[in-house]
């Protein structure tokens, strides 16, 4: 991908999320049949006994992962970062209602995180890897801002190259039904056609794991949800 194509992707992605921001939470719940809260909770539960005090949620969108992180008792600071203002605005509105002073939301680029090396105990990124111009740079940046032994959590829809019969049914739902739901609920067929397309062309969980290892992340576990459509990768910095 050349420079022009890279900028085009960022432009396309930020326009798309600006457009669908107000419908994003509703669509997330419809598409995942409400399960995305459970997947986030599973990841957060793994952090509860670590006594972490700081975390960064990269491409936080409307802030669901940030809010989950802020519920960990030991957590003192949670920063949510995104490059789309309307998504951040919704996160900020939700944080006013949630009555917590642990959370801060900032405008910024996942590929150039505005934080010093070795700053956070934990970094998350939910359903965002496919949207970055470079997954590799995003992982490198997340690894950089993590403290040694800190935890990285990547939750995303990733391709399943060898689906069984049930998983093929899930893929049919994903490829055929989701664009229809997007058209009905968000009035945006393009955004919800982009979603399945972006998954098909992306790296699978083993390829992401190898990429994480090459950026200094070890002890990586992979857990699958939603009939294999969703992958959760958790690892720690060397």
Q: Are 20 and 86 in contact (CB under 8 A)?
A: no
> Nearest-5° angle of CA 41, CA 47, CA 49?
120
The gap from C-alpha 60 to its chain's centroid, in whole angstroms, comes to 7
Return d(Cα 63, Cα 80) in angstroms, integer. 7
Which region, judged by CB under 6 A, interacts with ligand SAM, from 54-62, 142-150, 163-171, 225-233? 54-62
All residues at 6 or more sequence positions from 209 whose CB lies less than 8 Å from its CB, including other chains: 220, 222, 233, 235
198 vs 206, which CB is nearer to ligand SAM?
A: 198
3 state SS of 126: strand
Residues 153-192: x/- map of binding to ligand SAM (CB under 6 A)? ----------------------------------------
Residue 150: what are its φ and ψ, rounded to 5°? -70, 165
Residue with the closest Cβ to ligand SAM?
A: 61
Residues 9-28: x/- map of binding to ligand SAM (CB under 6 A)? ----xx--x----------x
141 belongs to the binding site for ligand SAM (CB under 6 A): no
Return d(Cα 205, Cα 222) in angstroms, integer. 7
Q: Are 89 and 18 in contact (CB under 8 A)?
A: no
Taking the complex as a whole, the smallest distance from the CB of residue 207 to ligand SAM amounts, in Å, to: 19
68 belongs to the binding site for ligand SAM (CB under 6 A): no
Which region, judged by CB under 6 A, interacts with ligand SAM, from 103-111, 141-149, 158-166, 223-231? 103-111
75 vs 110, which CB is nearer to ligand SAM?
A: 110
List residues near ligand SAM by CB under 6 A.
13-14, 17, 28, 59-61, 64-65, 82-84, 87, 109-111, 126-128, 131-132
């Amino acid at each position: 991908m050349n420079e022009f194509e890279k900028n085009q992707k960022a432009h396309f992605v930020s326009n798309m999320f600006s457009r669908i921001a107000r419908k994003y939470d509703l669509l997330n719940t419809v598409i995942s049949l409400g399960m995305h809260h459970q997947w986030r909770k599973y990841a957060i539960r793994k952090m509860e006994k670590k006594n972490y005090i700081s975390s960064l949620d990269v491409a936080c969108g409307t802030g669901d992962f940030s809010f989950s992180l802020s519920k960990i008792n030991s957590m003192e600071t949670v920063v949510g970062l995104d490059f789309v203002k309307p998504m951040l605005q919704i996160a900020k509105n939700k944080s006013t209602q949630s009555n917590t002073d642990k959370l801060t939301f900032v405008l910024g680029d996942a590929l150039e995180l505005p934080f010093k090396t070795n700053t956070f105990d934990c970094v998350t990124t939910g359903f965002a890897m496919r949207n970055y111009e470079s997954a590799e740079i995003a992982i490198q940046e997340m690894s950089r801002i993590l403290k040694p032994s800190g935890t990285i959590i990547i939750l995303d829809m990733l391709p399943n190259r060898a689906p069984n019969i049930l998983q093929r049914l899930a893929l049919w739902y994903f490829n055929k039904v989701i664009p229809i739901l997007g058209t009905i609920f968000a009035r945006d067929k393009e955004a919800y056609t982009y979603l399945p397309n972006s998954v098909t062309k992306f790296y699978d969980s083993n390829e992401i794991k190898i990429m994480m290892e090459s950026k200094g992340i070890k002890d990586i576990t992979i857990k699958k949800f939603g009939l294999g459509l969703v992958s959760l990768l958790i690892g720690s910095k060397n």
